[in-house]
Chains A and B, each alone.
Chain A
Amino acid sequence: MTNRKALGMTAVLLGMVMVWNGCSAVQVRDRTYLQAIEVKNADQTEVQLHDFETPGILSETAGDNLDAALQKASVFIGKELFLGHLELIAYASPAFTERLSQCMEEYRLSPACKVLGLTKGQTLEETDTQHLMEQLRRAEDSGLFPETDLFSVQRELEGTGGTALMPVLTRDGDFAAAVVTAKQFCGVVSEKAAAGLCWLRGDNYPKQLALSEKENFDISYGTIRLSAYAEDDHVAVTAVVHLQGKGDFDQAAALIKSQCQAAITETVKECHADVFDIEACLRSQCYAYLEKTTWDEVLKNITFEIQVVDRL
């Protein structure tokens, strides 16, 4: 066979493959781009779908599992569903938490997608999800609420403790931080503890601390470093907050310390949860100690010291 014939055959073969494959490509107009989904039950799954344009619900269907429910929704809407730009997954049933990883892989969700827990009886049926998302982002940006997303929840769940922090929507419509495991919600932390978690997790700091009715501390720089050392029967973790700003430094430091202490008490001590990378810190700095004891023992005996130092 000459080169030309071989090239010609290759081109024809390639063309056939391309046409065969390409003719089934879904056009842009034949897709619905979902913004949020609400999963109501983990067993007989009901889903409510929200897109970027329709205020309120786009569709509400039920199926044996999430896949079946989404497929029914696709038929109902008349278009293929695209979840690549999904911004919010909301659910009330704690058991759905362990399905998050599977959803992320199967539907190729963005790791930055937000996860929101709903209290019993609550639904997003009448909610403008766009507005809800903006509120959540605002709360995180302001440092009032710890930053979480689908990936951070999964990463924390994969830890030895199997706990994660995620936002929940209270009956009043406010956001609260909840400690969750793969199967249940362990507890909701207080506002003070949530603020403390913002510092301990190191992702988002407030721009301002309200010291009193009239006085504020404007924060220009903040960072935290966790260090740990092992003693005979326990691990001592020191969290050093480097702070820089305008205002009464001592008062600000005291406030931060109390917030962090509250966060530690409510998460580590009460819920036995690791929601600010304690395990990673211990693994890098107290590996030998970690190897010879159990995680429960570590959490039971761990001590914390919070220091706030002036960056300058």
Chain B
Amino acid sequence: MSDNTIEMLLQKKILSEYKSNLACIQQIAKGSSDLLVNEFLLSGLPAALLCCEGMLSTSIITELILKPITQIRMKEPTADNIFSYIQNRQLYSTDRSEAKTYEELFRFLNSGFAVLILEGALTALVFGVQGYDKRGIDEPSGEDNVMGAKDGFIEVVRVNMSLLRRRMKSPQLKLELFVKGTKSQTDLCLCYMADRVPQKLIRQIKERLNEMELESILSSGYVQPFLENRRGCLFDTVGTTQRPDVLCAKLLEGRVGLLIEGTPFALVIPKLFCESFQTMDDYCYRPSYSTLVRWIKYVAFLVAVLLPSLYIAIALHHPELLNRTLLLILAEAEENAPISLTAEAIGVLLIYEIIREAGLRLPKAVGGAVSIVAGLIIGDAAVSSGLISTPMLTVTAIAVIAGFVVPDLAQSVTLLRLAFILAGGFLGLYGISLLGVAVLFNLCAAESFGFPIMAPLAPFYPEGMRDTVTRVGFRKMQSGDFTVEEYHE
């Protein structure tokens, strides 16, 4: 059967004649072995309970639906009477709906619902009795912290919604479900606090999502480009988080979250640049310590991006900037290096990227061996043989480790680091400052739905400094009533 025929059938309304109805369903699902059809008589009328193998709990479906439904005896059984009786008197599950077209029917079916078709009925009843295997709620892999909660989002959007609802019991928390992806029919959930979020933002997000004409949405990365600034910003203008507590905090500030079925990452709109340096731990520690840690992160970011390039620029073009003793140590270390400083830096960074990528993809059993190979062979042997100088390796290692302090910016840091190395190596501090200005302008130009991502630094909002330059105590913060709408331009 051609695709066009299936598409046409999917748009059709459910047939009332049982045999034709079932034949149509089987025609659409032809070739799929996971469609289970349980035919029976429901108060004398032919009926069938359809489900997708592996998506339901068989014990639940037997106990909650099959057993009671087969015991229905009505005096004048018609499809409408039976369906009305089931809907109003039986209530086999808390999540019930009706499918009017075959497209809706299959969407429910493939989402783990049980579907009941009946002779004479123009709709199909669906019961939410999902019982598919899902990952347990676990600590998020990329957003560890010490003092905060240890639960994170999983791949099931409804579970994620419950994680939010448990934390924010206010009825102002709205969780709007909708479906996107012509083939995947993926569930997306728009989350926002109705009393905090600017209505214009919701409208704009919905418009952007409506522009999305994807066939499938398999991860947050499919949706993110549609919500991001189109201007080519070097940094993300849409945030991601795996933590429900973080998302709740963002929602309270008037932002919008987007949960996506199949991925444990929620999207947060808008995202400001300074948020990349904020973690939940900051709000668990004392303000003075949190402020110190915050500043360490800022410095770490600058070190991660600029240290190798500054080192190269100063060593090659401005040696007077170096302390005399340091300069002599450097000169001695570079005496036997066969390649230029710039090439050395790029080589070391590329090797690090290869090792990092290999570490991500390798099976855990081999990971340990890779670490030894990387550390000993590349680190030790290369330096001993004079291929790479110790100061260069040290500088690059410090920069790489500093980059781990702000994992949110890892992509941008890696690219910028390379660009700055080239600029510093070829044009010295002049090149670094030119590129730095260009990056600064790029950052300042970036907006996320009218919110400049450099706020509250540029444009400058003094009130915003209390959670950017410092982290004031909650006694001061509680009186703020801050929402991100204050930054909208």
CA distance A51 to B254 in the complex (A): 64
Write out the residue numbers on chain A whose beta carbons fall within 8 Å of the beta carbon of B426: 18-19, 21-22, 25
Complex partner residue of B320 from A29, A52, A53, A85, CB under 8 angstroms = A85
Chain A residue with the shortest CB-CB distance to B323: A85
Contact (Cβ within 8 A) A31 B319: yes
Q: Which residues of chain B from 417 to 472 have any CB-CB distance to chain A below 8 Å in the complex?
A: 422-423, 425-428, 431
Task: Point out which of A19, A25, A52, A108 has the most chain B C-beta atoms below 10 A from its C-beta.
Answer: A25
Known: A84-B320, A110-B320. A29 touches B427 (CB 8 A): no
Write out the residue numbers on chain B whose beta carbons fall within 8 Å of the beta carbon of A28: 315-316, 319, 330-331, 334, 341
Is B350 at the interface (CB under 8 A from chain A)? Answer: no
Is A33 at the interface (CB under 8 A from chain B)? Answer: yes
Contact (Cβ within 8 A) B320 A27: no
Q: Which residues of chain B from 166 to 222 have any CB-CB distance to chain A below 8 Å in the complex?
A: none
Is A75 at the interface (CB under 8 A from chain B)? Answer: no
Is B3 at the interface (CB under 8 A from chain A)? Answer: no
Is A289 at the interface (CB under 8 A from chain B)? Answer: no
Contact (Cβ within 8 A) A18 B422: yes
Main secondary structure of the interface of B (DSSP, over half): helix
Contact (Cβ within 8 A) B328 A53: yes
Chain A residue with the shortest CB-CB distance to B391: A28
CA distance A82 to B328 in the complex (A): 12
Q: Which residues of chain A from 14 to 34 have any CB-CB distance to chain B below 8 Å in the complex?
A: 18-19, 21-22, 25-29, 31, 33
Known: A18-B422, A52-B324, A85-B324. A25 touches B331 (CB 8 A): no
CA distance A15 to B347 in the complex (A): 19
CA distance A53 to B331 in the complex (A): 12
Contact with B along A1-45 (1 / 0, CB 8 A): 000000000000000001101100111110101000000000000
Chain A residue with the shortest CB-CB distance to B315: A28
Write out the residue numbers on chain B whose beta carbons fall within 8 Å of the beta carbon of A53: 328
Known: A21-B426, A22-B427, A27-B334. A52 touches B328 (CB 8 A): yes
Chain A interfacial residues counted at CB < 8 A: 18
CA distance A29 to B344 in the complex (A): 14
Complex partner residue of B431 from A18, A85, A108, CB under 8 angstroms = A18
Chain B residue with the shortest CB-CB distance to A22: B426
CA distance A47 to B328 in the complex (A): 23
Q: Shortest CB–CB separation between residue A253 and chain B, in angstroms?
A: 41
Complex partner residue of A33 from B331, B334, B337, B427, CB under 8 angstroms = B331
CA distance A274 to B190 in the complex (A): 80
Write out the residue numbers on chain B whose beta carbons fall within 8 Å of the beta carbon of A33: 319, 324, 327-328, 331
Q: Shortest CB–CB separation between residue B79 and chain A, in angstroms?
A: 60
Contact with A along B318-349 (1 / 0, CB 8 A): 01100010011011001111001110000000
CA distance A242 to B320 in the complex (A): 38
Is B13 at the interface (CB under 8 A from chain A)? Answer: no
A-B interface, 9 closest residue pairs, ranked by CB to CB distance from nearest: A22-B426, A84-B320, A18-B426, A28-B334, A29-B334, A25-B316, A85-B324, A28-B315, A29-B335
* Complex A-B: 17 CB contacts under 8 Å: A22-B425, A25-B426, A26-B316, A27-B316, A27-B334, A28-B315, A28-B330, A28-B331, A29-B331, A29-B336, A29-B337, A31-B331, A33-B319, A53-B328, A84-B320, A85-B324, A108-B320
Given pairs A27-B316, A29-B331, A33-B319, 8 additional interface contacts (CB within 8 A): A19-B426, A22-B342, A25-B316, A25-B317, A25-B342, A28-B316, A33-B324, A85-B324
